[in-house]
């Protein structure tokens, strides 16, 4: 199904969540059939993006959503990090624990040769971070 936003035509699979909301709320001429189709799309995306899949834990859901966030361009990582830094202080501490575990795993990947040109910088930098903390006596 095709939809027009600001004079540009989009296939239904090309629509972002924001565009779907704009179509549903805005002054765009959406037929009843188009409206029903979009509402079905909202339900499918909500179910896919916000609900755990069969056998998926909350940790799996978080990792999948974070990966989806990073994969959708453009992103302002600095803005996202700044927003995270304004969260509740306890939650900041918990987020940091996830961050440190990720760094440890990437450092292990570097040690074991589980990297290539696409993630070598992340793995090598993680290894350097871990080595630094070990040298200053940071307990892992």
Residue 2 shares a structural domain with residue 50: yes
The pLDDT tens digits of the residues spanning 59-107 come to 999 999 999 889 887 889 999 999 999 999 999 999 999 999 999 999 9
Q: SS3 letters for the chain?
A: CEEEECCEEEEHHHCCHHHHHHHHHCCCCCCHHHHHHHHHHHHHHHHHHHCCCCCCCHHHHHHHHHHHHHHCCCCCHHHHHHHHHCCCHHHHHHHHHHHHHHHHHHHHHHHCCCCCCCCHHHHHHHHHHHHHHHHCCCCC
Close Cβ partners of 5 (under 8 Å, ≥ 6 residues apart): 19, 22, 23, 28
Residue 61 shares a structural domain with residue 22: yes
**Domain membership of residue 91 as a residue range:** 77-135
Write down which residue in 75, 93, 114 finishes a domain. Answer: 75
Q: Is residue 126 part of a domain?
A: yes
pTM equals 0.71
- The pLDDT confidence band at residue 32, using thresholds 50, 70 and 90, is confident
More confident residue, 54 or 106: 106
């Amino acid at each position: 199904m095709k939809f027009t936003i600001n004079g540009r035509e989009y296939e239904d699979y090309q629509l972002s969540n924001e565009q779907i909301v704009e179509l549903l709320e805005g002054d765009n001429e959406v037929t009843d059939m188009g409206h029903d189709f979009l509402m079905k799309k909202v339900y499918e995306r909500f179910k896919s993006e916000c609900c755990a899949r069969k056998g998926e834990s909350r940790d799996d859901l978080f990792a999948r959503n974070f990966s989806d966030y990073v994969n959708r361009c453009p992103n302002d990582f600095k803005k996202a990090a700044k927003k995270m830094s304004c969260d509740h202080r306890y939650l900041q501490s918990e987020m940091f624990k996830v961050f440190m575990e990720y760094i440890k795993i990437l450092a292990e990947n570097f040690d074991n040769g589980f990297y290539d040109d696409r993630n070598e910088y992340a793995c090598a930098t993680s290894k350097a971070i871990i080595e630094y903390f070990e040298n200053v006596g940071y307990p892992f």
